[in-house]
Amino acid sequence: MGHTAFGRRTDASVQELACEAFAEALRDAGIPRDAVEGSVIAAVPEYHKQRSIAGAVSEYLGLAPKPTWLVEAACASGGAAIRTAWMAIRAGSHDVLAVIGCQKMTELTTAETLALMGRVGEVQWESCFGATFPAYYALFARRHMHEYGTRPDDLIAVAVKNHHYGAMNPLAMFQKEITPEKAAASDPVASPFHVYDCCANADGAVCLLLAEEERAREISNHPVWLSGMGAASSSMSVLRRPSLSALPSTGEAARQAYEMAGVAPQDIQVADVHDCFTIAEILAYEDLGFCPKGMGGRFVSEGESYVGGTTPVNVDGGLKAKGHPIGATGVSMTYEIAKQLRGEAGARQVPEATVGLTHNVGGIGQYCFVQVLTRE
C-alpha cells in the first residue's frame, strides 16, 4: 500500500502523485513492478485537465502494455475501482492488480470548480435551481434535525472529532484541532452548514495492491482480507427518494457486506465512513447499524465514535480533516483500515483491531460501496 500526503500539492502532477503512491506500495509489498498484471484507476475525469487519465498514469508508472482502465462513481470511484479489481481477480482473470485512486483538484480554477459544483445533482429539475453539493446534504441535515431532534452541536461534534484525529495523521490536509466555537462561527455555506461542516477539495493519490488469496499468502505474512463486499445505488434525483433522512444505498451495501463476511455491525472495531459533510457521518452511523436510526447525533456527541467508544469512526481524520481528492478517497479509506488491522496506525491506533469497515459514498448516495476487512 502507498499513500501520498493529501492537500494542495502544487509540487506534483497527477501522474507523479500516482507514482509516489505506487512506488511506496511496491516497497511495502516487497514485489517487483513486473508482478503487477494491470491497473485499475479511480478518478473523476472532469477534475483533471488531462483527459483519459488511466492511460497517462499507466504509462508514467511503466505498466504498459499491461491493461489499465478508469472507474468512475463520483466520490465513490475508489470503492468502485477496488470492487472492479476484486471482481477481476475473483473471476480468475488476474492474480495481482494495482488499484490507484488519484486526483488533482487544485489545477482547476475557482470558476471551473464552481461550475462543476452546480451540476452534482440531477440537472433537469434540480441543478437548474442552483442546488449545490453542500445544499443537498443540508436538505438531509434539516430533515434529520426535524425527525430526530439532531442538534447543530451534534454536527459540530463530527467536525471536532475528525479534526482531532486529523491532527494525529501526518498525511492529512488539516493537522490542527478545532474548537466547537470556531466551527460554529465559520462562514455560512448552506444552512445549517458552515465551512467546518464541509470537507475540502484536495490533491492526492493512494495505491493498493490486490492479490488472489494464494498469491497474497506468498507475498505477505500478514495480508488483510476483503471479507465482505457490498455495492448499491440510490436514485440520482433526491425527489425520487423515499426519505431524506437516510441513504438507502448505504443500508443495502452494508447488508451485503455484513452477510458475506458473516459479521454484525457490533463486530466492527474501526471504520472509515464517508463524511463529506458532517451530517453524512451521522447518517452513516445509523445506516451502517452502529447505532439505532435517529441516534447518530447522540452517538458522536457522547464520544461513541472516538477510540475507546463503541465504534471508532474516521480516526484518520475522515474526508473532513484528511481532505477529499475525490478519486483517491475510497482507496484511502481501505488503506487506513488495513493500517489499523496491521497495527501500524501510530497515535490513532485502535488496540487489537481485527475487523474493520469502509463506507464510500458517491454523490448524495447515488453510489455506495461497503467493505468489511479482516486480519487473521
Partner 1 sequence: MFKWFGVVNLSPSTRVAEFAQLLREGHLMASRCSACGDRSFPPRADCARCLSADFEFLELKGHGTLYTFTEVSVAPAGFETYAPYTLGVVDLEEGGRAMAWIGESLAAEDLEIGMSLQLVPRLRDDVEEIQVFYTLETPGYARDRAGATVTSLLAVWPREPATEGERIR
Q: Which of 3, 19, 48, 75 is catalytic?
A: 75
DSSP 99-157: EEEEEEGGGS-HHHHHHHHTTSS-TTTTGGGT--HHHHHHHHHHHHHHHH---HHHHHH
Q: Binding residues for partner 1, how many (CB under 8 A)?
A: 37
Kindly state the DSSP code that residue 91 receives in the 8-state scheme.
Answer: T
| Closer by beta carbon to partner 1, 50 or else 235 | 235
Q: Give the shortest CB-294-to-partner 1 separation in angstroms.
A: 15
Q: Give the shortest CB-257-to-partner 1 separation in angstroms.
A: 28
* Nearest CA among 309, 325, 318, 320 for reference residue 359: 318
Kindly state the DSSP code that residue 321 receives in the 8-state scheme.
Answer: H
19 tagged catalytic: no
**Long-range contacts, 92-95 (Cβ 8 Å, 24+):** 94/37, 94/38, 94/212, 95/37, 95/211, 95/212, 95/215
294 binds partner 1 (CB under 8 A): no
Q: For helices 152-166 and 278-287, what crossing angle results, to 10°?
A: 100
Say if CB 32 and CB 26 are below 8 A apart.
yes
Per-residue mark of binding to partner 1, 231-270 (x: CB under 8 A): ------xxxx---x--------------------------
Binding residue for partner 1, selected from 102, 135, 168, 337, defined by CB under 8 A = 135
| Closer by beta carbon to partner 1, 128 or else 347 | 128
State how far the Cα of 370 lies from the Cα of 85, in Å rounded to an integer. 15
Site for partner 1 in 64-123 (CB under 8 A): 111, 114-115, 117-119, 123
| Closer by beta carbon to partner 1, 196 or else 369 | 196
| Closer by beta carbon to partner 1, 111 or else 264 | 111
Binding residue for partner 1, selected from 130, 170, 308, 351, defined by CB under 8 A = 130
11 binds partner 1 (CB under 8 A): no
| Strand, coil or helix: 198 | strand
| Closer by beta carbon to partner 1, 10 or else 124 | 124
Q: Which of 48, 163, 274, 324 is catalytic?
A: 324
Q: For helices 248-261 and 278-287, what crossing angle results, to 10°?
A: 50
Q: Enter the C-alpha cell of residue 218.
A: 506468498
The percent helix, strand, coil of the chain (3-state, each to 5) is 45, 20, 35
Site for partner 1 in 156-195 (CB under 8 A): 187-193
**Cell 475473483 maps to which residue?**
90
Q: Provide the β-strand partners of residue 209.
A: 98
Binding residue for partner 1, selected from 146, 176, 217, 222, defined by CB under 8 A = 146
75 tagged catalytic: yes
Binding residue for partner 1, selected from 9, 83, 104, 142, defined by CB under 8 A = 142
| Closer by beta carbon to partner 1, 109 or else 221 | 109
In the complex, the residues that contact partner 1 under the rule CB under 8 A are 111, 114-115, 117-119, 123-132, 134-135, 138-143, 146, 187-193, 237-240, 244
Residues tagged active-site? 75, 324
